[in-house]
Structure 1
Amino acid sequence: MPFDVAAQRPKLLFLLQGVACFAAVVLLILLALHRGPARRRGAAFLLLAPALLLLTAGLLLPGLQTLALSFTDSTGTAWAGLDNYVWMFTDPGALTALRNTLVWVVLVPLLVTAVGLLYAAAVAHSRFRALALSVVLMPMAVSFVGAGLVWRFVYAYRPAEAEQIGLLNRLVVAFGGEPRQWLVDSPWNVLFLVVAAVWTQTGFAAVLLTGAIRAVPRELVEAARLDGASPRQVFRRITVPSIRPTLLVVVLAEVVGTFKAFDIVKTMTAGQFGTEVVAHAMYDQAFRYGETGRGAALAVLLFVLVAPVVAYQVRAQRSAR
């Protein structure tokens, strides 16, 4: 279908008008600060005003609208009270999504941090550190959708009499086993999705933790070695306590990201076979099944779960300063 310039012209003009208005507001604020004396609080408020306006229009108002929709029926117009929240904690499908999300939130941050820490400890002082980190960072260059497709082929299943195209089943058959439908067998299929998520995120943890390990004062390490500490004791009692703030940042970032897990589930199983998570269930309810109220209620639940983690992260960063 050819691109219709005439049909898109009103949208482009509307976009340009919005950008022009925003630029004009910023320019007026800068001119006001430049020409007239301003107190520190007034100047700060004026400089923050454009960002606050965008946050209000793009985050606060939609959030309040979502909260209001969570108390309505499937059409988003009639009042339903707490029915959507009761459904969330009584419906078997919704409970499965909650359970799987809990599994993700527990396993993914722990595995990503553990694997990233071990990898960082192995390469932090190596001559080939740059190459090693480049290798582990390669999965992060792939989108979550791409990672899901890659691992879907890894877990691909064919009948026993057919040639296996999935890497895992090829290995199983090569060692005399029978091919399995890895993404169908519940509850193990949830763990196989977790493996894909860990594969994509380990590089993030490894890079941050490598920098933290290299920043540990050499004097502490040398002093521990002179006192007779083994490499394992040095790692456990010197290195890990010294990089605790970075470990906390990695864990909290992974927790927040895991709550929003969607792409890998969508591309690998589409939430079928007992692999549903809250973020994917929210999408299905709101856009696939037309249950606007239920989708909004799941969105509110995600916000309630993520907000304390973000607040704790902000508080920890302020305390570190």
Structure 2
Amino acid sequence: MVWQILSALGAVVLGVGACAAYFYFSNKLLDIVLPAREGDDVFVASRNLRRRSIIRPWLFIGPALFLLLVYLVYPVVATLILSFYDRSGEQFVGGANYQWAFYDREFRQSIFNNILWLAVVPAACTFFGLVIAVMTDRIWWGNIAKSIVFMPMAISFVGASVIWKFIYEYRGGNDTQIGLLNAIVQMFGGTPEVWISVPFWNNFFLMIILIWIQTGFAMVILSAALRGIPEETIEAAVIDGANGWQIFWKIMVPQIWGTIAVVWTTITILVLKVFDIVLTMTNGQWDSMVLANLMFNWMFRGGGDSGRSAVIALIIMVAVMPIMVWNVRRANAQMKGH
């Protein structure tokens, strides 16, 4: 344990030191290569100063661009190429992998499940986050409530899934039900079920886990946005006779609509990549498979199939890209507005 802590601290120190050394010596080298000293020819000095001002920013963003090229651009190009090859990545098969995806039942089921997740999770997280943000701003123990709601954000998806596995736990025969949900059902005279094995509905039981985790994120962002609403607008609405419901929907929500959209799209991107919860809870069984898990199965199980897994990876990327572009454009528009 001590060795691991020392190794981590050493890595941090070396990493920060290496970055500082790179920036210091690269700028020194630039000044040496393109000098602009007193006594030098005025034309040469001014030319070197211009060149230094052009090159210097690239010294700062150069490492980031290099890493972006190596860890993002190259994998995308390699994945695109792999999608046209067979399972071993050696024989060219053209569009056969895309044709497989179109006709494969499990792939279509994964698309349907992803759409279901997209329709429910972002809306539920944003709605509950907004409601909790409004309610906790009106009570004296609101900060305590916010801390409790935000707490699941500190738990990994796998850890949260293990917690909810105990909630959905089923014991057969005459055994006492230790799962909270089945215990409640049994208490009211119902029949315990293996809830996560019920096709279609098990998707919603899995979605509850992600909603439980991400509602805290939505609440914190929306709570900050609500605090930025000018008090004058709310006071004017009260004077005009608006009730609480009208103030919420017609005064507060329109003023934070941009923040609501950002929260919605951020959670949407997360949903498109959901993997851990499904793997931990059902492993994709009982028609609960989503695209990320299907990609994982084709790539790393049953001998692996790099071609088909590459097709699924590209589809996930294509689905995420429009939302990312929209988020970036909106952020740029807001920056220009300020």
TM-score > 0.5 by shorter chain: yes
Q: Which residue of 1 aligns with 2:27?
A: 30
**Partner Cα distance (2:133, 2:125) in 1:** 12
Gaps of 5+ in 1: 4-16
**Partner Cα distance (2:137, 2:24) in 1:** 47
In structure 2, what residue type is equivalent to 1:201?
Q
Q: TM-score, normalised by structure 1?
A: 0.91
Q: Is the 8 A contact 1:266 1:280 kept in 2?
A: yes
Greater mean alpha carbon deviation, residues 153-162 or residues 21-30? 21-30
Greater mean alpha carbon deviation, residues 38-47 or residues 188-197? 38-47
Runs of 4+ in structure 1 over 6 Å off: 17-24
**Partner Cα distance (2:170, 2:218) in 1:** 32
Are the structure 2 counterparts of residues 19 and 317 from structure 1 closer, same or farther at C-alpha, using a change threshold of 3 Å? closer
Q: Which residue of 1 aligns with 2:66?
A: 53
* Structure 1 residue 28: Cα displacement: 3.8
**Partner Cα distance (1:100, 1:171) in 2:** 28
Aligned length: 307
SS at match of 1:183: helix
Query: In the alignment, does 2:198 pair up with 1:201?
Result: no
**Partner Cα distance (1:51, 1:143) in 2:** 28
Query: In the alignment, does 2:130 pair up with 1:130?
Result: no
**Partner Cα distance (1:315, 1:200) in 2:** 27
Are the structure 2 counterparts of residues 27 and 83 from structure 1 closer, same or farther at C-alpha, using a change threshold of 3 Å? farther
**Partner Cα distance (2:161, 2:289) in 1:** 15
Q: Is the 8 A contact 1:29 1:47 kept in 2?
A: no
Query: In the alignment, does 2:116 pair up with 1:99?
Result: no
SS at match of 2:170: coil
Q: CA RMSD in A?
A: 2.1
Q: Which residue of 1 aligns with 2:133?
A: 120
Match of 1:186 among 199, 203, 224: 199
Q: Is the 8 A contact 1:125 1:214 kept in 2?
A: no
Q: Is the 8 A contact 2:30 2:52 kept in 1?
A: no
Gaps of 5+ in 2: 4-13, 36-48
Q: Is the 8 A contact 2:122 2:264 kept in 1?
A: yes
Q: TM-score, normalised by structure 2?
A: 0.86
Deviations 1:131-151 (A, max 9, x none): 111000111111000011111
Q: Which residue of 2 aligns with 1:167?
A: 180
* Structure 1 residue 129: Cα displacement: 2.2
Q: Which residue of 2 aligns with 1:11?
A: none
Greater mean alpha carbon deviation, residues 25-34 or residues 110-119? 25-34
With a CA cutoff of 8 Å and minimum separation of 6, indicate the structure with the bigger relative contact order.
1
Greater mean alpha carbon deviation, residues 76-85 or residues 230-239? 76-85
SS at match of 1:186: coil
Q: Is the 8 A contact 2:31 2:52 kept in 1?
A: no
In structure 2, what residue type is equivalent to 1:30?
N
In structure 2, what residue type is equivalent to 1:298?
I
Q: Which residue of 1 aligns with 2:123?
A: 110
